[in-house]
A and B are shown apart, each in its own frame.
Chain A
Amino acid sequence: MEIIAEYLKQERSQEWREELRKSMKSKDRTTKVRVHMPEEDPIKRAKSHIEVNRGLTMEIAVEEAQRCLDCPDPTCMQGCPVSINIPKFIKYVEKQDFAMAARTLKETNALPAVCGRVCPQEVQCEASCFYTLKLKKIPVAIGHLERFVADWERNSGNMYVPEVAPSNGIKVAIIGSGPSGLAVAGDLIKLGYSVTVFEALHEPGGVLKYGIPEFRLPNEIVDVEINNLKKMGVEFINNFIVGKTATIDDLKEEGFEAFFAGSGAGLPNFMNIPGENANGIMSSNEYLTRVNLMNAAHDDYDTPVFLGKKVAVIGGGNTAMDSVRTAKRLGADKAMIIYRRTLDEMPARAEEIKHAQEEGIEFLNLNSPIEYFADKNGRVNKMRLQKMELGEPDSSGRRRPVPIEGSEYELETDLVVVSVGVSPNPLIPASLPGLNVSRWGTIIVDDKEMQSSIPELFAGGDIVRGGATVILAMGDGRNAAAGIHRYLQNINKK
């Protein structure tokens, strides 16, 4: 930690930073008003898949960057799972040296354009910004600025490829090309390792591709970030399921010395209520994969998808919001969230809930489905719901929903998307008998270096957490990369 503090101090004391700090009085900085992210019109956007957030203009970004006080003790950084040097990149924005701002992001973050879009900054960096903590004011829009810098660099046509150390010839296998795997790849390739990412699907990107919709994170942006990793030397192999196509033992024989499992939370949960296997009822994973990865809504793609006019999405997380907003865009007249608690307990990001409300999504809070009915063709046409009220807090600290006896009623629906969480993918644990797993099937690792009970296997993201966010997965990836580096240096010394 001291080394990091020293490094930050050194960087902060560079002449250009000092000049910049002096160029404007603190009071002038703190009296500025935080920018608003320009958004596509709700009526227009709900009919298309264009991105909702349009991004800041250069002028607005610089203006916002001026709000940052370049604190001597940048508390914001403690809120960032991948430890971005936040004041440094923001001050480069203020200086209008956007290329250097982009380089700063890439020192520690392999996917800045992604994080700038999907990170919940309001509970991370921005929650520990000096403005929030001490001034009790609205924090600097760190997330919006990150996105601005990444977009500026991509649009400049001149993407900086971070420098990599000379190859040390040591092979590392990364299982899964989602956010945690990409973060590990980015760090290890810089250190000179020979990095191969194995992806089960036909395209790399994991949940960034199949899960998060175009209107929040265009696939093209994920591809640009992945291409950047390729330019750094990371090799990607698609259609390869470690544990099936080859085992970890096979890969060891082929010379791989360390492994990172970032295989995600593969199994969708269902509620196991009567009628749930009717046609037109599916997991959010299936619905979003068909639409996002397989382009099912486009006529010239072969994959079909059920369309609905009265769509019910069960759940209150970000994936539920993604599903219901997708349904609206695919032509639903009624697109409803069915959630058993209230807006206050909803796990989705505030921004997603706000965007959904603007787009005309209906929220049936304090409701829970108890049965589905189908027409003669087996297609869902009705659901039975029960109303709930909030009781005592449960183990998650949220008030427990309690069914209200006799409150059952029926609601017409022709498409149901079940978005009530996921369980870890059992493929990796099932292929490794010696691996310690929890009773939920997640891989048990030490929380500093993400090492599992098999010394050469590290893990992170949802296979460890059981369902979290992109940025926490990336944080795990960075910790695991450090762990793998230390592990490999030790064994190769002997």
Chain B
Amino acid sequence: MNRIVAVENLSESVVKLEIEAPRIAQKRKAGHFVIVKLGLKGERIPLTISSADTEKGTITLIIQKVGVTSHKIAVLNIGDEVTDVVGPLGLATHIEKIGTVLCAGGGVGTAPLLPIVEAMHKAGNRVITVLAARSKDLIILEKEMRAFSDEVIIMTDDGSLGKQGLVTHGMEEVILREKVDKAITIGPAIMMKFSSMLTKKYNIPTEASLNAIMVDGTGMCGACRVTVGGSTKFVCVDGPEFNAHEVNFDELLSRLGGFKDEEYKAYQTYLEGLKKETV
């Protein structure tokens, strides 16, 4: 069950894992996620399904080492098993032919964006994709994105790849240049907040895929609640995608930071433990 069949390091901290999960591969659509748990004492975390191969019966997950759990998963090898994988969860992305779609991916948020770019392209839309990250090393899936995008614009904070600047600079360039019918933004909450502010200024309907803290992922616990249009929604069952212009990103940012200190401490302890092992 859930055996890892392929591993690819996309950058120093970002890993692509292909995992056997035939039923999930059959059912998943763009926008769906899984909950993953590693080991008896592991934590349950949500990860978006980046792609799937129905013939091989595998799903692809892309994960960035940011804490204990993601680190443990990111260092798994071919043949290892992920103890628990459940899904596909959440509502699938609404895909339709609408015209020109501007897709913005920030950092590892590029991974969940990929299936949407692919589906929007296949639905007959003109797809322009903006990928942004701190530096060249953190730009992932460029080749895959090019396969399904009419144009890919790369933005890095330090200018080490593409143009120097933020994701919003790249997006605004497109918006000023041509008519954009819809925008999709996925990445760190702060990036989605600012890209959403930008598209609001230009009145472009925008979807954001939110990355809340979850436990069960089936609506049972409410850890992932978020305010959208003034009312509380659960990211796991009402999302993960919402009208970005109605999302209270400040609340999302605050809730994402809820366990920040504990997580930081746990990760440092874990990394020290790793160092000792190698010494």
Q: Does any Cβ of B come within 8 Å of A391's Cβ?
A: no
What is the minimal beta-carbon distance from B44 to any residue of chain A, in angstroms? 7
What is the minimal beta-carbon distance from A21 to any residue of chain B, in angstroms? 49
Do B68 and A302 have beta carbons less than 8 Å apart?
Answer: yes
Residues of B within 8 A of A239 (CB): 84-86
Name the CB-closest residue of B to A263. B218
Which listed residue (A246, A306, A374, A426) contacts B237, Cβ 8 A?
Answer: A426
Name the CB-closest residue of A to B90. A244
> What CA separation (Å) do A60 and B236 show in the bound complex?
50
Q: Does any Cβ of A come within 8 Å of B16's Cβ?
A: no
Q: Does any Cβ of B come within 8 Å of A131's Cβ?
A: no
Do B222 and A427 have beta carbons less than 8 Å apart?
Answer: no
Q: Does any Cβ of A come within 8 Å of B243's Cβ?
A: no
Which of A291-329 touch B at CB < 8 Å?
294-295, 298, 300-304, 306
Which listed residue (B44, B232, B259) contacts A272, Cβ 8 A?
Answer: B232
Residues of A within 8 A of B216 (CB): 200-201, 289
Which listed residue (B83, B226, B231, B258) contacts A279, Cβ 8 A?
Answer: B258
Given contacts A245-B86, A285-B221, A303-B44, contact A276 B69 (CB under 8 A): no
> What CA separation (Å) do A426 and B42 show in the bound complex?
27
Do A200 and B232 have beta carbons less than 8 Å apart?
Answer: no
Q: Does any Cβ of B come within 8 Å of A26's Cβ?
A: no
Do A302 and B255 have beta carbons less than 8 Å apart?
Answer: no
> What CA separation (Å) do A152 and B63 show in the bound complex?
49
Q: Does any Cβ of B come within 8 Å of A256's Cβ?
A: no
Do A304 and B88 have beta carbons less than 8 Å apart?
Answer: no
Q: Does any Cβ of A come within 8 Å of B76's Cβ?
A: no
Residues of B within 8 A of A241 (CB): 86-87, 89, 218
Do A303 and B43 have beta carbons less than 8 Å apart?
Answer: yes
Residues of B within 8 A of A200 (CB): 86, 216, 218
Residues of A within 8 A of B215 (CB): 286, 289-290, 294, 303
Interface residues on A, range: 35 or more
Interface residues on B, range: 35 or more
Q: Does any Cβ of A come within 8 Å of B268's Cβ?
A: no
What is the minimal beta-carbon distance from A274 to any residue of chain B, in angstroms? 11
- The digit string for A359-382, where 1 denotes a CB below 8 A from any CB of B, is 000000000000000100111000
Name the CB-closest residue of A to B23. A245
Do B221 and A378 have beta carbons less than 8 Å apart?
Answer: no
What is the minimal beta-carbon distance from A296 to any residue of chain B, in angstroms? 9
> What CA separation (Å) do A303 and B43 show in the bound complex?
5
| A266, A270, A282, A304 — most chain B CB neighbours (10 Å) | A304
Given contacts A200-B86, A294-B44, A304-B263, contact A285 B218 (CB under 8 A): no
> What CA separation (Å) do A302 and B85 show in the bound complex?
17
Do B41 and A282 have beta carbons less than 8 Å apart?
Answer: no
Do A425 and B41 have beta carbons less than 8 Å apart?
Answer: no
Instruction: Show 24 residue pairs from A and B whose CB-CB distance is below 8 angstroms, ordered by the A residue.
Output: A201-B216, A202-B37, A202-B83, A202-B84, A239-B86, A240-B23, A244-B87, A244-B88, A245-B86, A245-B87, A266-B220, A267-B219, A270-B222, A279-B255, A280-B258, A289-B220, A294-B43, A294-B215, A377-B257, A378-B254, A378-B255, A378-B257, A426-B237, A427-B219
